[in-house]
Structure 1
Amino acid sequence: MECDLVIVGAGPTGLFGAYYAGFRGLRVAVVDSLPELGGQITAMYPEKAILDVAGFPNVKGRDLVAGLVEQAATAEPTYLLDRTASTLDHRDDGISLGLDDGTVVEAKVMLITAGIGKFSPRPLPAGEGWLGRGLEFFVPTFEPYAGKDVVIVGGGDSAFDWALHLEPVARSVTLVHRRDAFRAHARTVEQVRASSVEIVTKAEVTALRDADGGSTGPLAEVEITVGGEPVPRKAQAVVAALGFIADLGPLQQWGIETHKRHLVVDPAMRTNLERVFAAGDITDYPGKVRLIAVGFGEAATAVNNAAVVIDPTAHVFPGHSSEGS
C-alpha cells in the first residue's frame, strides 16, 4: 500500500500524530504489533487514572484512548494492527516498510512512536509457574481483585498506582519492596502512606503457596522475607510490578542511531536517517521528559517537519487548527 506518512506505533503519541497528519492533508497509515489501538495503555493500564494530560484533571486510560481514536478518525488513517514492522528499505525519495505478514508500505516519510519497543516483564523469582494462577504482571481491570488479599511487589509508579487503585477494592493490599527508597512519584508515595496499604520495605517475596502449602492449586499464601526472616502472609493475588525489559526488536537493525535503547532525534524530531522521524517515549535528546503530553508536542513537531520533506514549498508551521480558512 502507499501513503504519505507511515506511523509505527498506535499508542497516544501515534494516534495524535495520525490526527495531525490529517490536519496537514497527508495520507497516513498506522502500524502496531498489538491487535488494538492505544498501545501500552490499552494492553496494560486501561483503568489507570492519568493525571498529567493538559485539560484532563483525571482521565482513565481507556477514555483517553477513545478520545484520541475519535480525533484521529478525522484523518481517515489506514490501521495495520497485529503486525510488526520488520524491515526498512530506506531511499532518498521515500521508504519501504516491510511487515511480518508480507505487507509492504510505501511511504514518503516515517514517524516512529513505538513506546520503547517490545516489553517483557521482569520475572518474580519466586513466581515461576504461578502466572495466571494468582500472579500477574499488570492490572488491566480491578474487578478480579475485589475482596482479595493482594500483595504488590515493586517500588515504581506502577506499583504505587495499582496500590492506590486496588485499596478500595481489595480486602487488603500489601506493597513489598526490596529497598526503603522508591522510584515512584513522591506525591503518589505519600497518598499510599496515608491509605490503608501496608508498605513492607527491605523485603522480598520468596515463595508462593496454595492452601495445602504446595504449588498446584490456587494461590493462598505468600512468604515475605524481611531481614532474613521468612514470614507467611495470606494472599490470593500477587502483582509483580517489577518493570519491563525493553527490546527495540527489528528497529535496531535499521541503522538508526540509538542511546540506551532510545532513538536519538534532533529538535525537529529527525533521526539520523533522512525521512525517518520519531516522537514519544522512544526518543532521546538532552532534557527529555517522558510524559504523554510531551509526546503529543513531539508528534506535532515531527509531522510539521515531515510535511516539508514531502513538499519543500510547504511551511513548517501551517497555522492553528482553530483558525478559519
Structure 2
Amino acid sequence: MSEYDMIIVGGGPVGLFGAFYATLRDMKVLLIDSQDELGGQLVTLYPEKIVYDVGGYPGILAYDLAIKLVEQAKMFSPDIRTKEWADILDKTSDGMYVIKTDKGNQFKTKTVLLAIGLGRLSPSRLGAKGELEYENKGVYYTVRRKKDFEGKNILIVGGGDSAVDWALTLAPVAKSVTLIHRRDQFRAHERSVKELYQVAKVYTWHELKEVKGDGQRVTQATIFDNRTKDEKTIDVDAVIISIGHKGDLGNIPKWGINMKGRDILTNTKMETNLPGIYASGDIAQVEGAPKLALIAVGFGQVAIATSVAKKYIDPNASVFAGHSSEMDKFKKP
C-alpha cells in the first residue's frame, strides 16, 4: 500500500495550490479528484468566464487559470489520480489514516487535506423529453469552449447569473440566442438583464418541454408558456440548460468530522476535530470568522493548512519555512 505525508482530496484551485505548497515543503503528496479534468469549478462550471478576484491577474480566463494552477501543482511531482473519489476513511493502529476510494484502491497517509469545494459536481437536469438522449449532442449544462457555439442558434434555459452571462458571452459569436425562464424575475444582476434583452430573444414564463433532433444532433426545441400552456417549436443547434449544479459530499460526512450543514468546521489553523485532518476553501468554515467563498481566501487557508501539517508530521520543522522566492531553502524544480 502506497504511503504519503498528505492526501489532498479535491483538484480545484485550492487543492492544486495545496499540492504545490505541500510538495514545496518536501512532503510526499497524493491528490485525488473525482472529475476527469483538474481545475474544479474553473473547468466544470465557468471555463470561458473571466476571473477577476485572484491576485496578480487583472482578469484571467477561468480555464487558463486552471492550466496555470495545474502546471504549478505539478512542479514537484505529486501523485495525481483523477476520476476517483475518496470514499472511506479508517484510522490505523500507528496513528495514520487509510483512504479507500470508489475504485477499490487504498492509500495510507499521515495527514489528509479536504479541499472539495461543493463536492462531486453533477448538473441539475430538467427531465425534459429528449434531454438525456441528446446530452453532449447539442444539450449542454455548461460552456467549455465558446468557439464550439460559433454561428449556431442557441437556446439557453435559466434565469440566474450563469444563464444570463452565457447569453451575453455567446451572443457576439452565435447566429442567434434565445433565453427562456420559468418566471419573469431574474436572479442575475440588473445590468446584465438589461443587456440581455438587447442581444437575445427572451421568453419569460416559459419552460422547455422537448428537445428534438435527427438522432445525431439537436435540431429543434419545443417550449411552452407555463401559464397558458401554449407551445412553440423553434429551430436550434444547441440547448444550454443552466439551472445549477449539485454537490455531493459522498461519505465524507460519515468520517466523524465536525460539520455545520455542508461546511467542515475548522480552527484558525485549518485543523478539524480529527488530528491530522484539515480543510480549506469553500468546504471550510473557520469558527468565529466570516466565510468568503473566494479563491484568494482558499489559497491563504491551504497555505496555513499545509504548513501546520508539516509541523504535525515533523515536530522539528518550522510552520513557516521562509519565502518561496528563497528557493534554495526549499526544493528546486
RMSD: 2.7
**What are the superposed Cα offsets for residues 184-208 of structure 1, whole Å, 9 maximum, x if unpaired?**
4566556545x5134443x231422
Structure 2, unpaired ranges of 5+: none
Q: Does the 8 Å CA contact 2:168/2:199 hold for their aligned counterparts?
A: no
Instruction: Show the 5 A alignment for 1:50-89.
Output: 50-89=51-90
Residues 13-61 of structure 1 deviation map (CA, whole Å, 9 limit, x = unaligned): 1110011112222111111122332233334433332222222222222
Q: How many Å separate the matches in 2 of 1:123 and 1:33? A: 20
Q: After the TM superposition, which of the residue ranges 253-262 and 237-246 deviates more from structure 2?
A: 253-262
Relative to the length of structure 1, the TM-score reads 0.87
In the TM superposition, 1:183-202 aligns within 5 A as 183-185=187-189, 188-189=192-193, 192=196, 195-201=198-204
Could you list the per-position Cα deviations for residues 165-223 of structure 1 after superposition, in whole angstroms to 9, with x for gaps in the alignment? 21112112223223444444566556545x5134443x2314225489xx998331331
**2:12 counterpart residue number:** 11
- In the alignment of these two chains, the number of paired residues is 321
Identity %: 40
Q: 1:191 to 1:71 in 2, by over 3 A?
A: farther
Residue 142 (structure 1) aligned with residue 143 (structure 2): no
Aligned to 2:321: 318
Normalised TM-score (structure 2): 0.85
Give the AA of the match of 1:298: Q
Q: Which runs of 5+ in 1 are unaligned?
A: none
Counterpart CA distance in 2 for 1:136 and 1:211 is 14
**Inter-CA distance 73–144: structure 2 relative to 1 (3 Å threshold):** closer
1:309 aligns with 2:312: yes
Q: How does 1:180-259 map to 2 (within 5 A)?
A: 180-185=184-189, 188-189=192-193, 192=196, 195-201=198-204, 203-208=205-210, 210=212, 218-225=218-225, 227-228=227-228, 230=230, 232=232, 234-236=234-236, 237-259=238-260
Alignment correspondent of 1:107: 109
Partner of 1:42 in structure 2?
43
| Alpha carbons of structure 1 residues 107 and 159: separation in structure 2 relative to 1, 3 Å | same
CA change 1:192–1:57 in 2 (3 A) is farther
Q: Does 1:299 align with 2:306?
A: no
In the TM superposition, residue 82 of structure 1 has moved relative to its aligned partner by 2.3
Letter in 1 for 2:59: N
| Cross-structure match for 1:156 | 160
Shift of 1:231: 5.0
The structure-2 alpha-carbon separation of the partners of 1:102 and 1:188, relative to structure 1 and needing over 3 Å to count, comes to same
Question: Is 1:270 aligned to residue 271 of structure 2?
Answer: yes
SS in 1 for 2:221: strand
Tell me: CA distance 1:238–1:98, structure 2 relative to 1, closer, same or farther (3 Å): same
Q: Please give the alpha-carbon distance, in whole angstroms, between the structure 1 residues aligned to 2:14 and 2:87.
A: 21
* Shift, 1:226, TM fit: 5.8
